Amino acid sequence: MLEKLNANKKMSEPQYQQQVGKAQVRLRELEFDLFKRQVPVLCLFEGWDAAGKGGAIKRVTEMLDPRGFTVSAFAAPRGEEKSHHYLWRFWYHLPRAGHIGIWDRSHYGRVLVERVEGFCNEDEWRRAFREINEFEAHQAWFGMVICKFWLQISKEEQLRRFKSREVDPFRSYKLTEEDWRNRAKWDRYLEAVEDMLLHTSTSYAPWTVVEAENKYYARVKVVKTIADAIDKRLS
């Protein structure tokens, strides 16, 4: 699926400045409406290293009332988290009614990094497809709007961004040895991503694959997709 994606979708800076502002204003208005209606919203972001998750999240939140959203970033489980079922720590961070929860990485680590790196066995990550679908179904039945984004870039574009970060004193901290190790396993991660999209994109929690070679296009698509999903639920 991902290799057939049209990676040439682009947007100029003037187009971006015009469209992202309109989309952000619309999202801010919807934020107040969902608070009045007490509708929770979950937006989770997955994607290749350097695909632009942080930049997209920044544009989503840029004009929102800070009282109405939270951003949670998830890394490898630690301490007490490791002594529970892998979904346990995510329940705590679910958005309450009327609020927006934004997750940088998510429970999909079970079928991505944990699968590829061998932190769980095959039976566990295969079973996780059903567990994740049921977990998200519980939230949808509660009335939650769920937006899931996979930010897709090519292997060549990732290398270009890695090298750009490497020489930028303000962004070099973002590039780690782990990023290079993950890149060396690109094909294994690609297979895991394809399986994830195939098995966990549902009517109540669909995946949106974002063509992220052009950051302007990707950011506008993310903000518009969230606004459309909330608008559809409130209607």
**Structure confidence at residue 198 (pLDDT):** 97
**Structure confidence at residue 100 (pLDDT):** 98
Cβ–Cβ < 8 Å for 31, 231: no
**Structure confidence at residue 149 (pLDDT):** 98
How deeply is 124 buried, as exposed, middle or buried, from its count of CB atoms within 10 A (0-12, 13-18, 19+)?
Answer: middle
Tell me 38's DSSP state: T
Half-sphere exposure of 198 toward its Cβ, with a 13 Å CA cutoff?
9
**Structure confidence at residue 174 (pLDDT):** 86
Give the separation between CA 134 and CA 138, rounded to whole angstroms: 6
Give the separation between CA 74 and CA 198, rounded to whole angstroms: 23
Phi-psi sector, 6: left (phi>0), alpha (psi -120 to 50), beta: beta
Q: How many CB atoms lie within 10 A of CB 21?
A: 14
Give the separation between CA 105 and CA 145, rounded to whole angstroms: 18
Decide the pairing of beta strands 207-211 and 145-152: parallel
Q: How many CB atoms lie within 10 A of CB 175?
A: 18
Among candidate residues 145, 35, 43, the one with its CA nearest the CA of residue 99: 35
pTM of the model: 0.96
Give the separation between CA 235 and CA 230, rounded to whole angstroms: 9
- Mean pLDDT per 10-residue interval, the chain, length 235 residues: 85 97 98 98 97 97 98 95 96 97 98 97 98 98 98 96 91 89 96 98 98 97 98 96
Q: How many residues are present in the chain?
A: 235
Q: 105 in helix, strand or coil?
A: coil
Q: 8 in helix, strand or coil?
A: coil
Domain spans, the chain: 20-44+52-74+88-234
**Structure confidence at residue 51 (pLDDT):** 96
**Structure confidence at residue 170 (pLDDT):** 86
Cβ–Cβ < 8 Å for 103, 226: no
Q: Which residues touch 227 (CB under 8 Å, ≥6 apart)?
A: 23, 26, 27, 30
Q: CATH assignment of 20-44+52-74+88-234, given 3.40.50.2300, 3.40.50.300, 3.30.300.30, 3.40.50.970?
A: 3.40.50.300
Give the separation between CA 43 and CA 22, rounded to whole angstroms: 20
